[in-house]
Amino acid sequence: MAQLMGTKHPNIDFNILFYPQYTNEHGQVICHPGSVFEGIVQIKVSVAMPVHHIKLVFKASERVNYDAMGWEKSKSTDDRLFAVRTILWGLPSSVNIPQDAWPILEAGDYTFPFVCQMPVINYPPTFHHHLIATAFNMVVSVNKAGESAPVLSKMVPICFQPIIETIPIKNLHAFTESHRLTNHITAQVSVPRLAYNINDKHQSVPVTVQFHSGHLSDEHFPISQLRVYIKRYYSINYKTFSRNEATMIAHYDHPKLPSACPCTVSMKLNLPSPENLPATLTYSPHLTIEYKLVVSVKIRHGPIHVKKKLFDMPIIFGTLPAGTRAPRQLESYSAIVENRASLNCKPHFLRPQPRNQNDEEFLPAYDGDGIPPAYLSSITLDPNANDHATSISRINTANSTPANSLRVGIAG
């Protein structure tokens, strides 16, 4: 599903920039239910032009690949989870006046701070699959005279991560399963815990397998393979369409098995990196993500090798540390679909506040009825940042006129 690109305009250039505390090491903006993130919109205008307004739009959609499913999209289908906006410059959208009366956006560099707060709602997470994708994006729109459609910036992706409890208590007994492999040999699998926080890095799942023999002396060991693995299960449901997929996301084969029994084998299964490990998802009406931890063996019976599962249990991947509970007011999006038009069910833009008492106050995003002042600035960016979405390292504003200049000081 292709991402919508911005409408190029020879006289307008855009940047949507975020403060570094809201981004991860890859420069990706991460938000959660109830979280706040902020930054600035930078617009460079090369020639004066009449503009009705400049607005910042934050929207999310859950899009289905109808072609892959083999049926057409209904005209009444609404893929949007939400769409909210704030006017950065110009007239309110509801004001309808002749184009020759529109305010003039003079040539220069403009800087508009913004702050956005998420509701305490678990939307479906940012997710990309060839059948279904959930995307959260910000885009700047300029309604310019003489243009049949708004001039748009490139869409800047926001990564939404829901609040999923890993496990409500910190300490649990180990999980064990026992199986008889032959007439005399049994196997017992022990796993300390079956819940992990996906935000913890370099994690591994320790697994211990004890083989016991009913004979007093060592017995020939008939195991030809010992494997531990995790499978991820996607279940996609949309109207009459249903698709289930299972993928092995991690596995470990014990390299050297013992030659005699009894014996004990210890293994560590390394988990994928957080960006390749979406959290367990059970509340979305269209997408379910679940995992299972499996330990299997192959048993030799003469020339035949028989595969047997010794351990097969669900494993939870949450977004909270073990023992941390989700907020009581947290709601899932599926529970508020009927009321999603309510303001309480959407993100909302806040007025930017001073960063400390010594800073001059940000000029708020313009929402008045008169013609706004010109905001002139020059921005020094991180040289390693990309052109259209990055974090702010330092901003200095040019003092063109004392009355209209915007001074912003930000510690990176």
Q: Using one digit for the tens of pLDDT, what is the confidence trace for 244-267? A: 999 999 999 998 888 888 889 999
Residue 339's pLDDT band, with cuts at 50, 70 and 90, is low
- Contact (Cβ atoms closer than 8 angstroms) between residue 195 and residue 167: yes
- Contact (Cβ atoms closer than 8 angstroms) between residue 220 and residue 260: yes
Mean pLDDT of 279-291: 90
102 CB-near residues (< 8 Å, 6+ apart): 50, 51, 52, 90, 91, 145
Higher local confidence (pLDDT), 216 or 180: 180
pTM value is 0.76
Q: For residue 90, is it left (φ>0), alpha (ψ between -120 and 50) or beta? A: left
Q: What is the mean pLDDT of the chain?
A: 80
249 CB-near residues (< 8 Å, 6+ apart): 230, 231, 232, 272, 276, 277, 291
Q: Which range among 7-21, 64-78, 88-102, 395-409 shows the weakest confidence by mean pLDDT?
A: 395-409
Q: How far does CA 222 lie from the centroid of its chain? A: 46
Residue 402's pLDDT band, with cuts at 50, 70 and 90, is very low
Q: Using one digit for the tens of pLDDT, what is the confidence trace for 39-49? A: 999 999 999 99
Mean pLDDT of 348-367: 59
How big is the chain by its Cα radius of gyration, in Å? 28
pLDDT given at position 401: 29
The whole-angstrom separation of Cα 11 and Cα 239 is 45
Q: Using one digit for the tens of pLDDT, what is the confidence trace for 57-79? A: 999 998 877 676 665 555 555 57
Q: How far does CA 208 lie from the centroid of its chain? A: 34
Q: What is the DSSP letter of 319?
A: S
The token pair at 330 is 């947290």
pLDDT given at position 137: 96
Residue 304's pLDDT band, with cuts at 50, 70 and 90, is confident
Residue 132's pLDDT band, with cuts at 50, 70 and 90, is confident
Q: Using one digit for the tens of pLDDT, what is the confidence trace for 178-203? A: 999 888 889 999 999 999 999 998 89
The listed CATH number (2.60.40.420, 2.60.40.640, 2.40.10.220, 1.20.1250.20) that belongs to domain 175-322: 2.60.40.640
- Contact (Cβ atoms closer than 8 angstroms) between residue 60 and residue 137: yes
Higher local confidence (pLDDT), 3 or 178: 178
Burial readout 375-396 (b: 16 or more C-beta within 10 A, e: otherwise): bbbebebeeeeeebbbbbbebe
CATH fold label, 12-160 = Immunoglobulin-like (2.60.40)
pLDDT at residue 239 greater than cutoff 80: no
Mean pLDDT of 333-353: 75
pLDDT given at position 400: 31
Q: In CATH terms, are 12-160 and 175-322 the same topology?
A: yes
pLDDT at residue 227 greater than cutoff 90: yes
pLDDT at residue 289 greater than cutoff 50: yes
Residue 169's pLDDT band, with cuts at 50, 70 and 90, is low
Per domain, the residue ranges of the chain are: 12-160, 175-322
